[in-house]
Amino acid sequence: ELYRNAHYTVSATQLSQLPSDSGFEVAFAGRSNAGKSSAINTITGIKALARISKTPGRTQMINFFHLDDERALVDLPGYGYAKVPEKMKLKWQTTLSKYLETRQSLRGLMLMMDIRHPLKNFDLQMLDWAKQAELPIHILLTKSDKLGRGAGGNALQQVRKELKDVGLEASVQLFSSLNHQGRDEAIQVLDNWFEL
Ligand code: GDP
């Protein structure tokens, strides 16, 4: 499995620092604590990757994990920044939206949302940018183990309905890094985007 080859290559704080725009990229986004690092761990099977993204200073960077010469998982910053000045937030929003809009190699956006707290402002913002960029979107409802089977299924249907109501097209699935529910399903989506 190619995902097990994932290795950290480079970080960027601005668009000019991104690696050359060729090959295939899939962006991972989520509010902080949504379970994004755990999901990247679970998908790749490599615990160290999450630690890299959590390194002080790197939490607000775009971090690249290459699978091979032409494919990369791109870890986007998780908006942990209650304490970050407004000016910096705005700068980041510009960087992120421009990345989503202009990056040729970007094939899709994986958005992680805690199944108990879906579709917050950050999520809607990311979804809106991805829509404007005509980027395919796949949503992982993370920590699905926190809900029973019935409640999990209900939450899934509810999110699908709310997306439809606001005119957003995205596929949605349950995901748990604890029991690996949905790992295969997520990998199928990635395989598709990476043309594997
Ligand atoms: P990030 O900030 O989005 O990268 O989130 P993390 O991956 O660091 O996860 C945040 C917290 O949620 C941590 O305490 C994780 O252990 C916990 N967590 C993440 N994924 C799961 C999951 O699938 N199930 C459960 N029960 N907890 C999870």
Statement: residue 40 has pLDDT above 80: yes
The atom number, within ligand 1, closest to the CA of 146 reads 26
Q: What percentage of the chain reaches a pLDDT higher than 90?
A: 82
| pTM across the whole model | 0.96
pLDDT score of 79: 67
Q: Is the CB of 113 under 6 A from ligand 1?
A: no
Mutate to test the pocket of ligand 1, among 38, 59, 113, 174 (most ligand atoms within 8 A of CB): 38
Ligand 1 mean position, distance from CA 94 (Å):
27
Ligand 1 mean position, distance from CA 35 (Å):
4
Q: Is the CB of 63 under 6 A from ligand 1?
A: no
Ligand 1 mean position, distance from CA 176 (Å):
9
Closest CA to 66 of 109, 22, 8, 112: 8
Statement: residue 24 has pLDDT above 60: yes
Cα dihedral value 66, 143, 120, 166, nearest 10: 90
pLDDT score of 84: 73
pLDDT score of 82: 57
The stretch 169-180 carries a mean pLDDT of: 98
Is this complex scored with an ipTM above 0.90?
yes
pLDDT tens digits for 102-135? 999 999 999 999 999 999 999 999 999 999 999 9
* Domains of the chain, first to last: 2-193 (3.40.50.300)
